[in-house]
Structure 1
Amino acid sequence: MRKRSYRIITVILAVIVISVGIVCLTGCSQSSNALKDGYYTAEMAEYNNGWKEYLTVFVRGGKIVSAEYNARNASGFIKSWDMDYMRLMNANMGTYPNQYTRNYAKQFLETQQADAVDAIAGATTSYGSFGDLAQAVIDHAKAGNTEIAIVPG
């Protein structure tokens, strides 16, 4: 009976050791690509038509859980708050900053990928900037680099 007990204990210990080894290897291989918790921001290097776009994300548990995409002018005024700009852009393009910035951020949260966001007609210039900003925050989040990423235009 003792031999059987030792065999069972040996098998259980072997399973535990193998399981721990697999978890360690899996965790180690994913750690280089995992996003590190924290806030990460990327902004365009230059103003475009008076606005500098930026993207700020919050990562928790290795996943982007919030994203704010917008633009500000030299005085710090937020593009989505500019009602005159909104009316003019909506009349000419069929969209406006408060609409497309939220849409791009929402898609990014859903996909967790910079290149999986669909363009919105009328906001294609911002779409290009958003993709560059999203990739920059992902790169910084992988490295745990909380400095603002400056993205060339």
Structure 2
Amino acid sequence: MKRFIALFCVLVLALVLAAGCGGQQQQPQQQPSQQQNEQAQQPSQEEATALKDGVYTAEEPEFDDHGWKAITTVVVKDGKIANVFYDEINKDNQIKSLDQDYASNMKEKSGETPLDAVAKLSASLLEKQDPANVDTVTGATSTTNKFKTLVAEALKSSPEEKGAGGYYDGIFKAEEKDFDEHGYKAYATVIIKDGKVANAYYDELSKDTGTFKSKDENYQKNMKAKTGVSNTEAIPQLIQSLITKQDAEQVDAVTGATGTTQKFKTLMGEALSLAK
């Protein structure tokens, strides 16, 4: 009898478990909510922060206490910063990057020159793609702050439109990739206003002395004695010809300064190609 009761209990338990399992219904697959759909449709952070292609330029409205005013031009391609040019101009129409006195004083005090500082800032911007994240250059804190502020201001504006002269307004630069066989490296800067070349700057830096060729008195004397023209006489003629012709290829050669003329035309051509 006990054996029968035990068997009956086992049978009842089995029926209860079977009923319980059979009663579980498969839950339907949960449909994505409206919020999830909206999140999926939202652009990624990279897409949301993509910049409109074009040329952006900003300039400080006033000269600072030391007589300098910063200007920058940012080139955007495929939604990213592809190039940036920066310098500071004084009331005498000189640019800080090619100012020998300023460079020498800055180098002595901080170990940096304007050329070196701007090169580092530009490289950091191209890497970070955000002026707020640009690395501060030790010894060039003021330049760093101006650079970051002005680039951010430029990118908040609308892209430039080409002027009547066929160029975008702004500052554009080019430089030789390396020092030549004589230990010099050439730098060229052009400033465009109202679509035309308004001014240009050119010089060559000595690798050994850190002196610009235009400030090397011995070089000037030797060149004058050999060719009849000094570097400081040739460069203003080349710049004036560029402003007149508005085309680097059409710049008139300066007799006795063939090498300087060729470098000038090549680098100004590269700088102007970025302004088109």
TM-score w.r.t. length of structure 2: 0.40
1:86 pairs, out of 103, 117, 120, with 103
- 1:40 pairs with 2:41: no
Higher relative contact order (CA 8 A, sep 6+): 1
Amino acid at match of 1:118: D
Contact 2:54 2:159 in 1 (8 A): no
Q: Note if contact 2:55-2:159 (Cα within 8 Å) is conserved in structure 1.
A: no
Question: In structure 2, do the counterparts of structure 1 residues 120 and 29 end up closer, same or farther at CA, with 3 Å as the change threshold?
Answer: closer
Contact in 2 for aligned 1:65/1:109 (Cα 8 Å)? yes
* Structure 1 contact 64–109 (Cα < 8 Å) conserved: yes
Q: CA RMSD in A?
A: 2.8
Q: Does 1:119 align with 2:133?
A: no
Distance 1:52 1:113, change over 3 A: same
TM-fit CA distance, 1:138: 2.2
Larger Rg: 1 or 2?
2
Q: Deviations over 1:81-127 (max 9, x none)?
A: 11121111101121111110111111101111011111112211111
- Letter of the 1:146 counterpart: E
| TM-aligned CA deviation for residue 28 of structure 1 | 10
Letter in 2 for 1:134: V
1:57 maps to what in 2? 74
User: Structure 1: which amino acid aligns with 2:99?
Assistant: D
Long gaps (5+) in structure 1: 1-24, 149-153
* Aligned twin of 1:146: 160
Q: In the superposition, relative to structure 1, how do residues 62 and 50 fare at CA in structure 2: closer, same or farther (>3 Å)?
A: same
The answer to whether the Cα contact below 8 Å between 1:69 and 1:102 also exists between their aligned partners in 2 is: no
Secondary structure of 2:153's aligned partner: helix
Secondary structure of residue in 1 paired with 2:74: strand
Percent identity over the alignment is: 34
Q: Check the 8 A contact 1:43/1:53 in 2, yes or no.
A: yes
Would you say the 8 A contact 1:89–1:95 is kept in 2? yes
Structure (1/2) with the larger helix percentage: 1
**CA distances 1:60-89 after superposition (whole Å, capped 9, x unpaired):** 111110101111112432110111211111
Alignment match, 1:98: 115
CA distance in structure 2 between the aligned counterparts of 1:61 and 1:100, rounded to whole angstroms: 27
